[in-house]
Amino acid sequence: MNKFHTYQAIVTLPPTSLDIIGDIHGEYEALRQLLLHLGYDSLGRHAAGRTLVFIGDLCDRGPDSPAVVRLVQGMVNAGNAICVLGNHELNILRGLRKDGNSWFWDEAADGDEKFGKMRVLAKAERQPMLDFFASLPIVACNSQLRVVHAAWHTPSVNEIGSQALTSIVEYFDERERQTNDVIRSDSRFQYYVAEQKQWRVHIPDAAQAVPFLGATAYMRELRQMANPLRVLTSGVETADSETFFSGGEWRFVQRARWWDTYTEAVPVLIGHYWRNPQDTPVSALSRGRDLFAGVAPYDWHGARGNVFCVDYCVGARFLERSGVMAQGQTRLAAMRWPERTLMFDSGQQVASRNFGRRTG
């Protein structure tokens, strides 16, 4: 049977109790410890019949992305786990050389030395891993819960749900071609071209103070929001009047607190957003605007208090290893459902708070 008949962008969560694990980013030992505390074996089996759900971003930045992906893939292939696609897996599928993913390409990359030693993937394993990434759904949901990597955006979910997709990458590229046509016909395109001509070479340079580029910000917001796969895997973004350096480049759009306008009744679990695990934010973990300002570390958030980000910055654990910040500042987390209890790789359990509390 070909991929046209087998690929599903949206899959159904099983009726079992769930353990939804946030972004892992190559932190294999943290994952092993978390699975042990949760009660899973190496094939993802649980004595109480619970099911693992991975929220994406298995890889990049950490010391052993290949081992993380192999472990998760084995659990998924055994039918004991679900994993949704994250933006880091999508970047690799698209062939992009991005901050922290040189482990996949076995190439030296400027800036990746800050992550320390990363285990390199054998060339023979690349295609099987790409095939696995290409098989991952974008959304996992049922009538009680929704899981997506970065944003529940109903128009985008409906769009991908209406498509008989043969390939994630082909669909992504087709949407990009359509967006390019829109961009080129926009009255601001000439200003965007002028900005890029002057500043393109400086955008990846943290030492270069790049000013706010208005046309570039406008075009990047347009590009982000026109592609459902971008929205669901890397979030809702809006142009801002400030620049900040993150992920190896100067940014001109900010991630938006989309959950503040999410008024649907079904709870949503996400990763992606580097939620600070301490009451007092650690400055080294800052990535532009603090999306969780005013939200306690273990609180549900959003207009109806029914959205929860389970990414507690384990993707920045390289900063602990390098001595930039103290040990224990980052965590790998799982949300236990329906208990709504957090389990961390340290073995600490914490009850999440304020579920269903309206903020508007």
pLDDT tens-digit profile of 55-107?
999 999 999 999 999 999 999 999 999 999 999 999 999 999 998 999 999 99
Query: For the CA atoms of the chain, what is the radius of gyration?
Result: 20
Q: Which two tokens stand for residue 189?
A: 């395109």
Angle value at C-alpha 315, between 328 and 346, nearest 5 degrees: 35
Q: Which of 255, 232, 254, 251 is nearest to 243 (CA)?
A: 251
Per-residue pLDDT tens for 320-357? Answer: 999 998 898 999 999 999 999 999 999 999 999 999 98
How many angstroms separate the CA atoms of 81 and 14, rounded?
10
Q: Is 316 helix (H, G, I), strand (E, B) or coil?
A: helix
DSSP 253-302: EEE--GGGG---SS-EEE--S---SSSS--GGG--SS-TTTT--TTB-BS
Longest dimension (CA), the chain: 61
Interval 18-33: pLDDT, tens: 999 999 999 999 999 9
Q: Is the peptide bond before 14 cis (omega within 30 degrees of 0)?
A: no
C-alpha separations of 82 from 13, 66, 155 in Å? 8, 18, 23
In the structure, what pLDDT confidence band is assigned to residue 276 with cuts at 50, 70 and 90?
confident
pLDDT tens digits, 228-271: 999 999 999 988 778 888 778 898 988 899 999 999 999 999 99
What is the spatial distance between Cα 325 and Cα 320, in angstroms, rounded to a whole number? Answer: 5
